[in-house]
């Protein structure tokens, strides 16, 4: 448990240490470093696992007038530098995809694999943007409470105790700025630029995801040659939390193929 200091900003992280290849876990807007409690004990048997409260979440309170989500990618690279990690794999969920994509296009040699779980990191081109607009227009309004939207209907009905835990973890974050989604929405990356990094990428989605629709993940995958696509049943936007057995198995197999 430690903080990285950067320009007056304190980034909280936890590191299992060791000499094994590193996994950097980047949570979504409904989570923080605690979100990965069902992943770290599993993956720490084979990897060095680093979890983090990204800027503005958990214990990583942004500085007054700070850059907000625009610094997610540079924060991730700075943390690897701080820990002396030359290369890592990233497991990113939802908002974490923005950090993963931004970091990869800035320094692709730093990453040996990236998992984009229920996220496309706002990768876009004309075709992807048109599909996103079409899917959004056909979808019901999003719930006002963020964590309601982040869990699938099957999970909420069948696992009320774990759904409560999800809400408690999300509740440890300070309220987001009112324009937070707009800030994220402006941080786009051409999908062709990301594909040019040639970092092995897994796009993992689920059938009840109403935030980053499965069809959108598939379309982005199609524009990223060499990437892999997996769709999980009976899960919403937080597959890692709702179906950890399936998530860990699929992610573990992908990482094993590309492990240095």
pTM: 0.96
Residue 178 has a pLDDT of 87
Residue 140 has a pLDDT of 85
- Residue reference for tokens 């200091």: 5
Mapped onto helix, strand or coil, the DSSP state of residue 97 is: helix
Query: Digits of tens for pLDDT over the chain (260 positions)?
Result: 799 998 899 999 999 999 999 999 999 999 999 999 999 999 999 999 999 999 999 999 999 989 999 999 999 999 999 999 999 999 999 999 999 999 999 999 999 999 999 999 999 999 999 999 999 999 888 776 667 789 999 999 999 999 999 999 999 999 988 888 899 999 999 999 999 999 999 999 999 999 999 999 999 999 999 999 999 999 999 999 999 999 999 999 999 999 99
Which runs of consecutive H residues, i.e. helices, occur in the chain?
40-43, 72-83, 96-106, 126-138, 146-150, 153-158, 160-170, 180-185, 191-195, 214-222, 239-242, 244-258
Q: What is the DSSP string of 207-228?
A: TT-SSS-HHHHHHHHHTSTT-E
Per-position b or e across 151-185, b if 16+ CB within 10 A of its CB: bbebbbeebeebbeebbebbeebeebeeeeeeebe
Q: Which domains does the chain have, with CATH numbers?
A: 2-258 (3.40.50.1820)
| Alpha-carbon span 55 to 60, nearest angstrom | 5
Residue 160 has a pLDDT of 96
Cα of first residue to Cα of last residue in the chain, in angstroms, is 26
| Percent of residues in the chain assigned helix, strand, coil, to nearest 5 | 45, 20, 35
Residue 133 has a pLDDT of 95
Residue 146 has a pLDDT of 67
């Amino acid at each position: 448990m430690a903080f990285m200091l950067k320009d007056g900003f304190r980034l909280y992280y936890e590191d299992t240490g060791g000499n094994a290849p590193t996994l950097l876990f980047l949570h979504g807007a409904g989570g923080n470093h605690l979100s990965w409690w069902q992943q770290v004990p599993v993956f720490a048997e084979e990897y060095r696992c680093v979890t983090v409260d990204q800027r503005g979440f958990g214990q990583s309170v942004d500085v007054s007038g700070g850059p907000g989500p625009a610094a997610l990618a540079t924060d991730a690279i700075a943390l690897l530098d701080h820990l002396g990690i030359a290369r890592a794999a990233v497991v990113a969920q939802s908002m974490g995809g923005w950090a993963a994509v931004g970091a990869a296009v800035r320094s692709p040699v730093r990453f040996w694999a990236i998992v984009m779980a229920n996220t496309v990191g706002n990768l876009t081109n004309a075709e992807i943007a048109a599909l996103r607009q079409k899917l959004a227009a056909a979808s019901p309004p999003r719930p006002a409470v963020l964590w309601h939207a982040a869990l699938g209907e099957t999970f909420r009905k069948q696992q009320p105790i774990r759904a409560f835990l999800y809400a408690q973890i999300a509740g440890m974050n300070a309220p987001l700025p009112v324009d937070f989604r707009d800030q994220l929405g402006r941080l786009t990356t051409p999908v062709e630029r990301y594909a040019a990094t040639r970092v092995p990428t897994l796009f993992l989605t689920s059938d009840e995801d109403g935030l980053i629709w499965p069809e959108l993940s598939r379309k982005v995958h199609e524009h990223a040659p060499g990437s892999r696509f997996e769709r999980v049943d009976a899960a919403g936007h937080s597959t890692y939390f709702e179906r950890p057995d399936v998530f860990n198995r699929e992610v573990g197999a992908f990482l094993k193929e590309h492990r240095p």
